[in-house]
Chains A and B, each alone.
Chain A
Amino acid sequence: MLFAAFFALLVLAAGRTLYLGVLHSSALRKVAHTQQVTDESVPAQRGTITDRDGVILATSEPADEISATPYLVKDPLNAATRLAPLLGLSRAHVLTDLSERSGFVYLARTLPATQAKAVLALHIAGIAATPTMRRVYPRGALAGQVLGLVNTEGDARAGLEFSENSLLRGVTGKRRVVSDAIGQPISITDIHREQPGARVALTLDANIQQRTEAVLGAVGRVFHPADATAIVMNPQTGAILGMANWPQLNPNDHLVPSLSALENRAVSFDYEPGSTFKVVAVSGALESGLITPNTPFAIPDQIQVANRVIHDAEEHPEETLTTSEILAQSSNVGAIKIGALEGSERFNQWVHKYGFGTPTGVGLPGEEMGEVLPLDKYSGSSMGNLPIGQGELVTPIQMATAYSAIANGGILRTPHIIQSINGHTTGESHGHRVISTTTAAELREMLRGVLAPGGTASEVSIPGYQLAGKTGTASKVDPQTGQYSESAYVASFIGFAPASNPKLLCAVIVDEPQTGSIYGGTVAAPAFGQIMGFALPYLGIPPGS
C-alpha cells in the first residue's frame, strides 16, 4: 500500500517534470527570459566643457525619464497627488497626463536622479524610470550662445554643443542583467561598455567672460540696442578669452524664446563695419609705400566720388590732416582719398588679404563669411564707400582677427576657442604675414591717436596703460527702402593694449543703439575700456610690456 502511494507520487512528479521540462519548456523559457533577463542601456556621460582654467561651463549629471502607463495606474488622483511634488509639477498637470487614454506618457524628461529615486520609492504601479543624462550649465547664462544647448531629447541644438557633438556625446553602452525571483541582479554582463564623451577645454576665461557679459548688459540697459556682442582675444595667439552676446541666453532653459536668441553674433552677425574698416585702406597704402603716417592730405568737408557726395561726420572747413590724424579723427574724406591713392584693385586685394569674405575658421557653428564686393562689380562710386567701411559686410570675429594681425606685428592667425580635447592641446594657427612689422607698428602708433586727446574715443582710458583702437559708426541699410537708414546704426570699437606690445584685444559691436548715443566712441568704446580695465590687470599684463 505504502509502495503504491509512493509510486503514484513518483509517477505524478515524473509527469509534471515531463510537462514543465519538455512540453511547456519553450514558453516557460521565454517567460523566464522576459522576467529575469533585461538588457539595460547605459547612457554615456556627455563630455564636459570647461574654460581654460578648468571651470566647468557645461556638464552632465545622471537623470531619469519618468514615464507612466496610464491604464496600469489604478488610482490616478492619488498617484498624481503623491507624484506632483516630486516631479515639480502641479497635481492637475500630472493628473491630466495620468488620465490620458494611451499606453505611454512622459511625466518628466530629465528629472535629477535623486528625485527620480524618490518617485520610484513610492512603488506606484505603472510608473517607470528610464536612466538618461541631464545637461547642466552651472554658470547659467555665461557664454550661453557660445556653448549652445542640448534639448530634453539629448540633441545638441546650437553652439559648441552642436559643432562638437561627435566628441561630446560619447557612446551609449548596453548591459545584460539577470535577476533572481525577487529582482536582485545575480549576473551582470556588459554587452558593450559606454564611452563617455570627450572633455573639451575652451580658451575662454570664465572671469573675463563674466565681466564682458556684465559690461554688455550695462550697454544693453543704457542704450537699448537690438543686440550687442563683444570679443576678447589674445592677438598673439588668436585664443579667444571672452565672447559675449546680449541679450543673454540661459541654456538651462530649454524653452528658447526664438532661434535668433541662439545665434552667436560674434560669428554670425554680418554688418557694415564703418570706420573700423579704414585701417584696411590705410595699411594697404602704408605697406605699398604710397603714404607714411605723416603724409599730409587736404581734407575738405565733403568729397564727390562718381555720382555720390560723402561728408565727414562733422562739418569743418578744409584742413590738412596727416594719415595719423585721418585715423584719429576718423575722417571719411581722408580715408576715401587714401583709397583713391591705392586704387580699387589694390584695395580689393588688401580686403581679401585680411581675410574678409571668407570664414575665419574659428570653429564655431553658424559662422558667416561676410560679403565682399567682387572687383568686377565695383562701380564708379564703390571707392567712395568701401574705404570707409560701407558697402561690404563683415563679421565681428573677422574684424577682431584683422586687428589682431595689426596688434601682433602683421601675422593673420586663425582665431580659436578650443584649447584642448581630453587634455590634448589643439594646434594653434601659425598664420601668415599680411603686413610687415613696420607697417603694423606704424598702424598701432596711429591707432593710439584715436584714444588720445582729439581722437574719437579720447574719453576712454585705463590708468597706466596705453590703448590703441578705432571707433566705428556705420549706417545700416533699411530693409524697407533699401537705402541707408537715418536712425539705425552699428556702433563699434576695436582696440588693444598695451599699444606698444599688445597682449589683449577687445572688440565691441553694438547693433542699433536706441537711446543715448549712436557713436562708436560713446557707445562701444567705454565698454571696451571697462572690459580691458578688468582684463589687463587680471591677466597680469603690465602696462609697459
Chain B
Amino acid sequence: MTPPPPSAAAAPAVRPRSVPRRPPRAPAPRRVSGPAKRKVSAGPPAARAYTPARGGAVALPAPGGLAAGLLEALAGISSSRWLDRLIRGRAWIGLLAFALIGIVAMQLWVVKLGVGIGRALEHEGLLQRENAALSIEDAKLSSGERVEQLAAARGMVVAPPGALHFETARGALDARLAAAALAHSGQVQSTSTGFAGSSEGAASASGAAAEPSPSSGESATAGASTETTAASATGSTESSSTTAEGSSGAAEGSAASSESSTPVSGTAAETPSTSASESSSASTPSSTGTGGATPTAESETTSVGGGVSAGGGTQQPAAGG
C-alpha cells in the first residue's frame, strides 16, 4: 500500500469557514430546438439579394438557389417548434391512430370496391347471357312458320293473293272519313262489352254488322299513297270494299258503301269464312264469342286483316305467313 504523501497528510480535514462561498449561478435558459440565430453581419447580403436587371426586368434566381431554398424550407419544417411540440405531445398518438385506422379503412374500401366490381362484372355477364337467351327465344317465337302453325291451329288461313285489293288514297276525303271513323269508333267502344281497343269494340259489335264503325286500321292507312284492302266478304262484297287491315270489317263496309266511288272486284268468295273469325280472334281472342261467332261477311273481312297482323306483324296484307 502506498503511503500518502506528507503534504496531504498534513492538510486539515475540514475546509476552514473563512473561505468565501461563490455566489449561486443564474439558471441557464431553457433549450429550445430550432435554427440557430444568425448573427446579423454589418455588410450587405451579397449573393442572396436579387439584382434588378437593366430596363426594369427582374432577374430570376438561379436554379441552384431555388433548390437550396426548398431544402432549407424542408429543414425548417423538420426543426419547426410546432412539429416538435406535436411529436412530443399526446395529440400525436391520436393523430397516428387516426392515420392508421384511415389507411386500413381505405384498404378495406379498395378491397370492397374490387369485390363489388367483380360482382358487377359477374352480373353483367349474367345479364348478357339472359339477353342473348331472350333474343334467341324471341327469334324462335317470332318465326313465321311457328306463327303460321299457331294461326292454322286456330283455323286461320293465309288470304289468297286474289282476295287482296289495293286502292288509291283519296287525300282529304280519306282523312275526313278516317276522322269520322275514329270518332264513331270511340262511341262504339264506349258501348262495347269491355274490349279495350276500338277495333275490338267494333269486332265485338259484329252482331250488328252493318253498323258503321270503321277500324283504326283504315285511319292508319288513310294517308298512304296506296291503301291495301281485303275484300273477302262473301255476301256483302261492296260493303267490305274499303276495308283496311283493321279488325272491324263491318264498320269498314259501311264506310265503303258511303264512299262507293271506288270499284272493288268482288273476289271475296275466295276467302274461306274461317279466316275472318280467326284473325279477329288473333287480335282479340274472345271477339268471336262476343260477337256472335258467326262467320258473317263482315267477320270474314275482319279475318283477312287480322291474319295479316298475326302472320307478319306488319300492316301489309296477307303477310300472315
**Interface residue ranges, A against B (CB under 8 Å):** 45, 55-57, 59-62, 113-114, 136, 138-139, 142, 177-178, 180, 184-188, 206-207, 210-211, 214, 462-465, 533-534, 536-540, 542-545
Contacts and interface: CB of A to CB of B under 8 A. Distances in A.
B125 A62 contact: yes
B317 A540 contact: yes
B161 A463 contact: yes
Given A55-B139, A177-B118, A210 B161 contact: no
A210 B145 contact: yes
Interface string B160-187: 1110111000000000000000000000
Interface stretch (B63-71, B127-135, B234-242, B285-293): B127-135
A186 B143 CA distance: 45
B321 interface: yes
A186 B133 CA distance: 30
Given A185-B115, A210-B144, A542-B226, A537 B267 contact: no
A61 B142 CA distance: 19
A542 B161 contact: no
Given A138-B137, A186-B118, 19 more contacts: A57-B139, A59-B135, A61-B133, A62-B125, A138-B139, A139-B140, A142-B143, A186-B114, A206-B144, A207-B144, A210-B145, A214-B145, A463-B161, A463-B267, A537-B159, A538-B317, A540-B228, A540-B316, A542-B226
B125 to A, nearest CB: 7
B97 interface: no
A354 B318 CA distance: 35
A301 to B, nearest CB: 39
B119 to A, nearest CB: 8
A464 B110 CA distance: 74
Nearest to A207: B144
B129 A114 contact: yes
Contacts of B137: 138
A431 B173 CA distance: 41
A505 B39 CA distance: 107
A464 B162 contact: yes
A61 B312 CA distance: 26
Question: Which of B117, B139, B165: most chain A CB closer than 10 A?
Answer: B139
A464 B229 CA distance: 14
A278 to B, nearest CB: 28
Interface of B: 110-111, 114-115, 117-118, 121, 125, 128-129, 132-133, 135-140, 142-145, 158-162, 164-166, 226, 228, 267, 270, 311-312, 316-319, 321
Contacts of A538: 312, 316-319
Contacts of A206: 143-144
A465 B160 CA distance: 12
B281 to A, nearest CB: 21
A443 B128 CA distance: 54
Contacts of B158: 534
Given A464-B161, A536-B161, A61 B132 contact: yes
A528 to B, nearest CB: 13
B203 to A, nearest CB: 23
Q: 9 closest A-B pairs (Cβ-Cβ)?
A: A463-B162, A185-B118, A138-B139, A542-B166, A61-B132, A186-B114, A56-B139, A537-B318, A187-B114
Contacts of B118: 177, 184-186, 188
Given A186-B115, A464-B161, A62 B132 contact: yes
A263 to B, nearest CB: 24
Contacts of B136: 56, 59, 61, 136, 138
A464 B143 CA distance: 28
A185 B139 contact: no
Contacts of A136: 132, 136
Contacts of A545: 226
A136 B136 CA distance: 8
B313 to A, nearest CB: 9
A538 B159 CA distance: 10
Given A185-B115, A207-B319, A463-B267, A56 B138 contact: yes
A177 B119 CA distance: 12
B141 to A, nearest CB: 9
A538 B158 CA distance: 11
Contacts of B121: 188
A207 B161 contact: no
Contact of B128 (A62, A207, A462): A62
Contact of A462 (B161, B166, B226, B228): B161
The residue among A55, A180, A464 with the most chain B CB atoms within 10 A of its own CB is: A464
A60 B137 CA distance: 12
A177 B114 CA distance: 9
B240 to A, nearest CB: 16
Output the residue of B110, B115, B132 with the most chain A CB within 10 A: B132
Contacts of B270: 463
Contacts of B125: 62, 113
B197 to A, nearest CB: 23
A464 B160 CA distance: 11
A327 B321 CA distance: 34
B316 A539 contact: yes
A251 to B, nearest CB: 13
Nearest to A113: B129
A462 B162 CA distance: 7
